[in-house]
Amino acid sequence: MKKKLVFIAVGTHPQQFNRLLQEADRIAERTKNARFFAQSGASDYIPKNFPSKKALGLEEFDAWMRKADAVISHGGEGVIGRALQLGKPLIMVPRLESFGEHTNDHQLELVEAVSKAKKIPAILDIQNLQKAVEKALEEKKKPARKSSPTKIIKILGNYFKKEFKAVF
């Protein structure tokens, strides 16, 4: 039986996301029916149980997204939108300011809004990642959509209107 591919994308933000890579490394060590690959960005943790690459060009990134059976994404709208567009089972893990992963918690807010609107798992406690990965690997891929990520843009627009209504 061919192993399923889990693609992890942490984005290009200049702060580390070691917490996600360390937990994914533990999961990869215990998961025999899947293989993992990560775009690891500015993280200094090097996974022992799967390959990773700091940066990917757009074509290489898209190739990994297309090959993936499941995607673990940071809370970046570009990765989330592309995974949804391709119909990939998606798990979102926001970078958190308290772990030195970002300058604020806007990814948490975005992930919560997308999770509520699209019923996509948002992992706020990293200990819940393994169950989410197992469930995602059981899901069947949905057909890729040819449309633009209009729905994610609408979700983002509604989120920003609600959050910043006092400013505008």
Which parts of 18-166 are beta strand (E)? 34-39, 52-53, 70-73, 90-92
Element (H, E) at 70: strand 70-73
Instruction: Mean pLDDT check: name the lowest of 64-73, 86-95, 136-145.
Output: 136-145
Answer whether residue 119 is part of any domain: yes
Residue-averaged pLDDT of the chain = 89
CA distance 67 to 157: 30
Structural domains counted in the chain: 1
The domain of 146 spans 4-163
- Of residues 47 and 154, the one with the higher pLDDT is 47
In DSSP terms, 38 is beta-bridged to 8, 52
* Tokens (6 digits) for 105: 């918690």
Answer whether residue 93 is part of any domain: yes
Answer whether residue 115 is part of any domain: yes
Place of tokens 């499941």: 70
The type of residue at 42 is A
Residue 11 sits in a domain whose CATH number is 3.40.50.2000
Answer whether residue 116 is part of any domain: yes
Answer whether residue 32 is part of any domain: yes
Q: Quote the pTM value.
A: 0.85
Answer whether residue 19 is part of any domain: yes
CA distance 74 to 107: 8
Answer whether residue 84 is part of any domain: yes
Answer whether residue 91 is part of any domain: yes
Q: Pick the closest to residue 132 from 58, 72, 53, 48 (CA basis).
A: 72
